[in-house]
Chains A and B, each alone.
Chain A
Amino acid sequence: MAETVKAAPPYCLVFISDPNGGELPAWTGELFVASTETCIALGCMMDSDGDTEFTLGQRSEVDPGGIPVFEGKLKTPSFSVVLYSAEDKTILKVPASQDETIVRVWTNRLRQPDRVIIGIE
C-alpha cells in the first residue's frame, strides 16, 4: 500500500535504504541523486522554501509514467525500504519482497523537487 506524506526534511535531502542503513554515497556540489548499492541520496526542496511531498510504494501503484530520474538496484536484506532524513528520522517505510529491490524515482523537477515518487519492485 503506497503512502504519501508532506515533509520538510532538514538539509534538503533524504535517503533511501534498508532499515539497517547503508553506505552513504559521496557527491560534490548540489545533490540531485547519488547512490551506492545500499543507499540512495536524493535532493529535495529546502525546508525554508516549503514542504516536499513524498510517495513511497510498489511501482505498480505509484508509477506516474515518464522517465524516472533514478533507476537502480538496492540491497534490502531486511525486506523493507525506508525513506529517512539526514537526522535519521523515518519519513516513510514499506515492505519489500526480496533482499534486492529495484528502486525508481520520479520527481517533478531535477533541482530541489517538491514532489518525489519512489516506486519499488
Chain B
Amino acid sequence: MTKKEIAELKTTLDTAPLASKQTMLRNLANGLTGGAIARLAPVLASEGPLADGYALALAAYAAKRPEQNTIADRILDGLDRMKAAGEGGRPVADTGPAWRQAFDEKTAATLASLDEENAAGLRTATAALYTQSMALKGRAGTILDGHELDSAIRDSTRGADMVSIGFDQDHAANDETVMSDASPDSVEDGQQYAQAGRPPWRRLGGRPITPMEEMRVSNFRSHLDAIRELEPNNRQLSYIAPRDWVPNERDVARIHEELLRARQRRAGVNDSQIGETTRESTLGVGKYAGESIPARSGKRNFNEAERERNNHNGDETGCHTCGTSNPGSILGNFALDHQPPTALNPSGGLQRLYPQCISCSQRQGGEVLKQLRLEQKK
C-alpha cells in the first residue's frame, strides 16, 4: 500500500459505521501477511487522532485468535465512543489528565522501553477499551477507576500481543508485500515502498549496553530458545518489544518461570497443578536473597544504619523476591522486609531484614492479610 492509500484507509475508517470498520480491518488483517501488517501498522498509526488505535486493532485482528478479535472489536467500539464524545473542536474526547497520568505511571515500568510514539498508540487503545467498558457500565470515561484501568491496560497489551523480536528480523525481509523500512515521513505520496521491514515498536536512545544488561539479554534469549524447543506455539514467544529492548530482572524471572511451567507441562503436569507448584510466594525468603541484617524486633522502628545497610544490600543483590535493582519507592529506598513476616510470627521468633521492592512488598501485604484471614477462620 502506498502512503496515500494508507491515508485514504484512515479517512474511510473514520467515517465508516462501527460494524463496517470492524469488518474492513478484520478483512485487511486476514488478507495481508504478518510482515506486511507489522510494517503497515506504524504508518497507519502516524495518520493522526484515532489512527494509532486503528493500528493496534489491526495488529490484534492479525493474531487471528478469538480473544484478540474481541479486543480489537472493543477497541474500535471505544474509539467510536471517544470520537462521539469529542467536544470543543477536539476530534477525540480524552479520558482526562488524571487518567493519562495514571496510565503513564502504571505503564512506566513495564513499557519503559517504548518510545513516546508507541506508548501513545497503546494509550489510545487503552483509552478506547476503558471508555467502552465504562460506557457499558453507564459510567463516564473521565472518572478514574484504577481497577478498570488495570483491565484496559491488560487487554490492550494482550491485544497487541502479536509482534515478536524474531518475527521482524527473520521474516520481514523476505516478505513479498510492497512496504518499506524507510521512515514513513520520507516517503512521498504515491511512492511504492521497498523491501525489508521496520519493527513496529522502537526504542529511544542509543547508549551502549552494560555487562549486566548483556547478561540479562543472554539469559532471556536462552530461556526463550528453551521454551521454543519445548512449545513452539507458546504465547510467551510473542510479545511487544523493540529491536534493542533490554529485559529487566523481572522479565527474566517471568520467562524463567514460564520455562519451568513448559518443562512441567512436557512432564505431564496439568495447568492447575503447575499454578500451585511454580507460584512464587512472598511469605518466605526470596530466591534472589543475598545479605540480610538481623531484626531488632518485629516492629518497624528502623534506624538510619539499618536503612542504609538494607539499601546497600538491595543495591548489591536487588529485591530478594524478584531480583529487581529498582526499589520503585518515591525516595529510592528498598523496603525492609521482615522474614518471616511479623504478622505471621506470633511466637516472636527471630527475624531478619531483607531488601524488597515496592511491588513485591505490596504483593506480600495482600498475601499476609489473606493468610491472617485463613488462620482466623480455622
Contacts and interface: CB of A to CB of B under 8 A. Distances in A.
Contact of B98 (A10, A47, A67, A88): A67
B34 to A, nearest CB: 28
A33 interface: yes
Interface band, chain A: 35 or more
A70 B96 contact: no
Contact of A32 (B106, B109, B142): B106
Contacts of B335: 11-12, 46-48
A82 interface: no
Contacts of B279: none
Given A11-B361, A46-B361, A87-B343, A111 B373 contact: no
A15 B372 CA distance: 14
Given A29-B359, A69-B98, A110-B105, A49 B330 contact: yes
B269 to A, nearest CB: 23
A69 B97 CA distance: 11
A29 B154 CA distance: 12
Contacts of A49: 329-331, 333
B340 interface: no
- Which of B144, B362, B370, B373 has its CB near the most chain A CB atoms (within 10 A)? B362
Given A12-B335, A88-B369, A35 B146 contact: yes
Given A10-B300, A29-B359, A49-B331, A34 B365 contact: no
Given A48-B335, A69-B146, A88 B361 contact: no
Nearest to A113: B330
A85 B361 CA distance: 13
A86 B365 contact: yes
A45 B300 CA distance: 14
Interface in A13-64: 13, 15, 21, 24-35, 41, 43, 45-50
Contact of A25 (B102, B106, B147, B342): B147
Contacts of B147: 25, 33-35, 72
Given A12-B365, A34-B147, A70-B144, A29 B330 contact: no
A71 interface: yes
Interface in B72-114: 96, 98, 101-102, 105-106, 109-110
Nearest to B334: A48
B290 interface: no
B254 to A, nearest CB: 11
Contacts of B372: 87-88
B304 to A, nearest CB: 10
A112 interface: yes
Contacts of A117: none
A67 B369 contact: no
Interface residues on B, range: 35 or more
A120 interface: no
Contact of B105 (A24, A28, A32): A32
A77 interface: no
Given A70-B144, A112-B358, A30 B364 contact: no
A35 B366 CA distance: 12
A46 B102 contact: no
Q: Give the interface centre of B142, B343, B366 by most chain A CB atoms within 10 Å.
A: B366
B144 A69 contact: yes
A34 B359 CA distance: 14
Contacts of A41: 366
A114 to B, nearest CB: 8
Interface of A: 8, 10-13, 15, 21, 24-35, 41, 43, 45-50, 67-72, 85-88, 110-112
Given A32-B106, A88-B373, 10 more contacts: A10-B342, A11-B361, A15-B369, A31-B359, A33-B147, A45-B330, A48-B307, A70-B144, A110-B105, A111-B105
6 contacts: A30-B359, A34-B147, A41-B366, A48-B329, A72-B147, A86-B368
